[in-house]
């Protein structure tokens, strides 16, 4: 608990009372009380300041005492029914001391001291543009020759009520009220200011002065223009809007590092709720900071983060919530979170669009994962998927050790056999960035066998999204999923792209045979059909489901192919809806658990989180074809169980009344 924090704002409070920083008369003599006072102020802005047994950083000191900002002032007699203040005005004043700012500036200080960079994911409305503007000005006034860059995807984030507008407002104040004023005779534009002046020597105009600079850059989609920029500070504004932010950070590092020495700080800011794919880049910086030489701290925010989980700096909505922090800036996390939970609930009840609710949550997150909720077009239950993925990531070793990872091969008698191969690595990533995308078969649950040691035909069904070319310049892969229709669990997966399509089809067909599973697949690509036809495996492919015609998902002309399902827009859309319904349905065996929480495939869960109308989502497509076959299967079961689409394979298992058959929990 922070106490007596006004000690850190003593010169700002003095200015508020007397309209000047000190009572000493201006005197330019180096040893005058006036100049000694300002020398000490500059030292505090550079080295930080200790008071009452605590310490704030130099950036924080300059912000509190020399950076007036626009803050809220409440009308004391205008109160809400619950006692909360609801009416106020924006006034220009010095920043209040906040525990959130205290932690943020200490995070930056620690990053600089160990030669690393920084990333901050934040809620809206906490004045971070003012904070970052103040940082560049501290360098401008206190460090000769320093350069502070502000980078954004668009100029509007710099000059249209952006960070540079705020910087110039503070600059005007400092120039008018301190002896630190600088001439700007060489560069003084809305996008670039340099502290220097002109002199004439031997008829030649020369540049003299401090030569510190503040420079704004709009990079849009050309992040390469940041290459070679060397400075003390590089701030990336609204990183969620910036194309290729990970590439930008990688390029910028060459201007802020030399060998093992880091001499400049890269700070990436981002707010949740953006409608851009680029939010994925900010998410990568935040959750995988070590890959970009970014300073990481324990992830104490995500409620299901592992004990060793680390991330960048997070500023949640319940921190310094307006009206709910004490005079020393300590946040009332409990009350503010309760208020925000009520706001969210009201929004859910009153809003017609789930997107509106997700947008609000992402802009006012309680935990980092909420800030990265996709707003573009996702139709899947994001919160549940994130929880399940986090559970798999936290307990990865536990789940991984329970899986069977390896190869399938054909034995001497023609049966498909299983062989564990721990050298093989399942493809769990998305987006797929690694060059090694071969993947392998992963078995989550071994096939059920009856008393005769056989797998009853019809228990297992499959979906496959194949590919048709050996070489590809995309990140597309092939994917197969196997489902036990009795407990609706995914029992096996094969996702990958080996060196040849023959290998993929061979592995996929062996997996189908191992489970005696009927497979629905995208028949726009002929390779899987040709492989099965040439090798006697057509019985493993489903005929084109009749339900597609019955529901007018495809036309009679399109259904002319005997096997598989066409990848038309209507089919794709229906498959997506079926997948959404599946995820939100309660498991038939464990009725209090959604199917989402039974998924063991990290790659599938990641695809579901990143889904948008554009892009390769091969696992999702495979699951869609599987669920279309499931619709066909239960349509036939409901109509006449003796006309199963699996002839000539019949099993006594299916001669029993279907409704009375106990569900099998493996």
- In this model, does residue 235 exceed pLDDT 70? yes
> Per-residue pLDDT tens for 549-600?
888 888 765 555 689 999 999 999 999 999 999 999 999 999 899 999 999 9
Total number of domains constituting the chain? 3
95 within 8 A of 105, measured Cβ to Cβ: no
Between CA 458 and CA 646 the distance in angstroms is 7
629 within 8 A of 540, measured Cβ to Cβ: no
313 within 8 A of 119, measured Cβ to Cβ: yes
> Per-residue pLDDT tens for 7-37?
999 999 999 999 999 999 999 898 999 999 9
Question: Which pLDDT score is estimated for 176?
Answer: 97
> What DSSP string describes 125-186?
SS-HHHHHHHHHHHHHHHSTT-EEEEEESSTHHHHSSSHHHHHHHHHHHHHHHSTT---BSS
Question: Which pLDDT score is estimated for 561?
Answer: 63
Tokens 């498909």 — which residue?
A: 416
- pLDDT above 70 covers a percentage of the chain that reads 88
Same domain, yes or no: 359 and 399: no
**What mean pLDDT is predicted for residues 656-662?**
40
Question: Which pLDDT score is estimated for 649?
Answer: 38
577 within 8 A of 585, measured Cβ to Cβ: no
**What mean pLDDT is predicted for residues 353-366?**
86
pLDDT grade for 482, boundaries at 50, 70 and 90: very high
- In this model, does residue 85 exceed pLDDT 60? no
Residue 597 half-sphere exposure toward CB, CA atoms < 13 A: 14
133 closest CA partner among 114, 113, 152, 153: 152
- Is 268 inside a domain boundary? yes
641 within 8 A of 654, measured Cβ to Cβ: yes
Question: Which pLDDT score is estimated for 350?
Answer: 87
Between CA 431 and CA 606 the distance in angstroms is 8
Same domain, yes or no: 293 and 216: yes
**What mean pLDDT is predicted for residues 282-310?**
88
Same domain, yes or no: 393 and 368: no
461: its two tokens: 């069904």
Q: How many CB atoms lie within 10 A of CB 259?
A: 5
Instruction: Provide φ and ψ at 555, rounded to 5°.
Output: -90, 170
Indicate the burial class of 107 (C-beta count within 10 angstroms; 0-12, 13-18, 19 or more): buried
Same domain, yes or no: 435 and 330: no
| Beta strands at 416-420 and 440-443: parallel, antiparallel or unpaired | unpaired
> Per-residue pLDDT tens for 454-474?
998 889 999 999 987 755 555
Question: Which pLDDT score is estimated for 357?
Answer: 84
Instruction: Provide φ and ψ at 427, rounded to 5°.
Output: -85, 105
Question: Which pLDDT score is estimated for 423?
Answer: 87
Between CA 449 and CA 515 the distance in angstroms is 10
Q: How many CB atoms lie within 10 A of CB 637?
A: 16
470: its two tokens: 């050996």
Question: Which pLDDT score is estimated for 391?
Answer: 86
Which CATH number fits the domain that encloses residue 331? Answer: 3.40.50
Same domain, yes or no: 394 and 334: no
Among the residue ranges 268-282, 350-364, 532-546, 569-583, the one predicted with the least confidence is 268-282
Terminal CA-CA length for the chain: 52
Same domain, yes or no: 614 and 637: yes
Task: Identify the domain boundary among 376, 395, 427.
Answer: 376
Q: Where are the beta strands (DSSP E) in 59-142?
A: 69-74, 88-93, 118-122
- Is 512 inside a domain boundary? yes
> Per-residue pLDDT tens for 512-522?
999 999 999 99
Same domain, yes or no: 35 and 172: no
423: its two tokens: 């050298």
Question: Which pLDDT score is estimated for 434?
Answer: 55
477 closest CA partner among 524, 533, 436: 436
Between CA 565 and CA 626 the distance in angstroms is 10
pTM higher than 0.85: no
pLDDT grade for 69, boundaries at 50, 70 and 90: very high
User: Which residue range is the domain that position 630 belongs to?
Assistant: 382-650
3-class DSSP state for residue 27? coil
**What mean pLDDT is predicted for residues 283-312?**
88
Same domain, yes or no: 310 and 342: yes
| H or E element, residue 194 | strand 192-194
Task: Identify the domain boundary among 314, 346, 376.
Answer: 376
Name the residue with higher pLDDT: 85 or 247: 247
- CA 230 from centre of chain: 28
Sign of CA dihedral 617, 623, 628, 631: negative
Same domain, yes or no: 500 and 368: no
Question: Which pLDDT score is estimated for 558?
Answer: 58
Name the residue with higher pLDDT: 267 or 650: 267
Residues 6 or more apart whose CB falls under 8 angstroms from that of 90 comprise 70, 71, 72, 73
- Is 105 inside a domain boundary? no
Residues 6 or more apart whose CB falls under 8 angstroms from that of 397 comprise none
On average, the pLDDT of the chain sits at 88
Same domain, yes or no: 360 and 386: no
> Per-residue pLDDT tens for 618-650?
999 999 999 999 998 876 655 444 444 443 334
Dihedral angle of Cα 195, 253, 163, 39, to the nearest 10 degrees: -40
Q: What is the DSSP letter of 597?
A: G
- Is 483 inside a domain boundary? yes
Indicate the burial class of 7 (C-beta count within 10 angstroms; 0-12, 13-18, 19 or more): middle
285 within 8 A of 312, measured Cβ to Cβ: yes
Same domain, yes or no: 316 and 194: yes
Q: How many CB atoms lie within 10 A of CB 75?
A: 11
Question: Which pLDDT score is estimated for 462?
Answer: 97
Buried b (16+ CB within 10 A) or exposed e, 514-544: bbbbbbbbbbebebbbebbeeeebebbbbbb
183: its two tokens: 């001439």
Same domain, yes or no: 344 and 408: no
Task: Identify the domain boundary among 311, 344, 376.
Answer: 376
């Amino acid at each position: 608990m922070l106490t007596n924090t006004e000690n850190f704002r003593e010169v700002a409070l003095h200015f508020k009372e007397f309209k000047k920083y000190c009572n000493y008369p201006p005197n330019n003599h180096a040893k005058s009380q006036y100049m000694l006072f300002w020398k000490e102020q500059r030292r505090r802005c550079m080295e930080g300041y200790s008071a009452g047994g605590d310490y704030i950083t130099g950036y924080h000191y300059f912000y509190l005492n020399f950076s007036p900002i626009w803050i809220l002032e409440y009308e004391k007699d205008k109160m809400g029914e619950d006692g909360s203040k609801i009416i106020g005005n924006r006034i220009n004043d010095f920043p209040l001391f906040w525990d959130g700012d205290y932690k943020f500036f200490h995070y930056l200080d620690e990053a600089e001291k160990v030669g690393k960079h920084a990333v901050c994911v934040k809620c809206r409305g906490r004045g971070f543009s003012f904070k970052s503007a103040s940082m560049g000005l501290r360098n401008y006034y206190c460090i000769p020759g320093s350069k502070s860059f502000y980078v954004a995807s668009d100029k509007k984030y710099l000059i249209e009520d952006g960070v540079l507008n705020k910087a110039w407002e503070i600059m005007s104040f400092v120039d008018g009220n301190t002896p630190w004023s600088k001439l700007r005779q060489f560069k003084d534009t809305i996008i670039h200011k340099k502290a220097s002046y002109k002199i004439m020597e031997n008829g030649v105009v020369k540049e003299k002065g401090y030569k510190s600079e503040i420079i704004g850059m709009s990079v849009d989609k050309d992040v390469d223009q940041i290459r070679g920029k060397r400075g003390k500070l590089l701030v990336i504004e609204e990183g969620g809007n910036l194309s290729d932010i990970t590439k930008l950070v990688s390029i910028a590092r060459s201007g802020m590092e030399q060998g093992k020495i880091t001499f400049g700080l890269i700070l990436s800011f981002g707010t949740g709720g953006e409608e851009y794919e680029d939010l994925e880049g900010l998410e990568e910086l935040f959750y995988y900071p070590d890959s970009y030489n970014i300073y990481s701290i324990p992830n104490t925010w995500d409620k299901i983060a592992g004990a060793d989980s680390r991330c960048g700096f997070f500023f949640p909505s319940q921190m310094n919530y307006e009206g709910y922090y004490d005079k020393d800036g300590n946040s009332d996390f409990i009350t503010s979170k309760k208020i925000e939970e009520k706001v969210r609930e009201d929004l859910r009840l009153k809003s017609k669009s789930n997107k509106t609710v997700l947008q609000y949550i992402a802009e006012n997150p309680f935990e980092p994962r909420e800030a990265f909720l996709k707003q573009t077009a996702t139709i899947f239950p994001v919160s549940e998927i994130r929880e399940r993925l986090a559970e798999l990531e936290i307990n990865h070793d536990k789940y991984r050790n329970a899986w069977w990872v390896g190869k399938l091969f054909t034995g001497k008698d023609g049966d498909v056999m299983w062989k564990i191969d721990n050298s093989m690595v399942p493809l769990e990533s998305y987006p797929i960035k690694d060059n090694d995308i071969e993947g392998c078969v992963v078995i989550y649950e071994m096939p059920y066998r009856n008393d005769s040691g056989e797998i009853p035909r019809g228990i297992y069904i499959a979906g496959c999204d194949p590919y048709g070319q050996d070489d590809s310049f995309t990140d597309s892969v092939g994917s197969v999923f196997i489902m036990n229709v009795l407990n609706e669990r995914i029992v096996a997966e094969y996702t990958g792209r080996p060196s040849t399509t023959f290998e993929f089809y061979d592995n996929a067909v062996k997996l189908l045979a191992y489970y005696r599973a009927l497979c629905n697949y995208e028949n726009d690509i002929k390779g899987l059909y040709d492989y099965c036809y040439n090798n006697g495996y057509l019985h493993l492919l489903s005929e084109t489901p009749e339900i597609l015609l019955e529901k007018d998902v495809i036309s009679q002309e399109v259904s002319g192919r005997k096997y598989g399902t066409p990848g038309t827009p209507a089919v794709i859309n229906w498959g997506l809806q079926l997948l959404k319904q599946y995820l939100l349905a309660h498991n038939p065996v464990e009725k209090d658990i959604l199917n989402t929480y039974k998924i063991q495939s990290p790659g599938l869960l990641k695809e579901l989180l990143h889904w948008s109308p554009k892009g390769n989502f091969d696992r999702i497509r495979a699951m869609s074809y599987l669920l279309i076959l499931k619709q066909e299967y239960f349509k036939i079961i409901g109509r006449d169980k003796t006309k199963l689409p699996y002839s000539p394979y019949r099993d006594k298992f299916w001669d029993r009344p279907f409704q009375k058959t106990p569900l099998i929990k493996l």
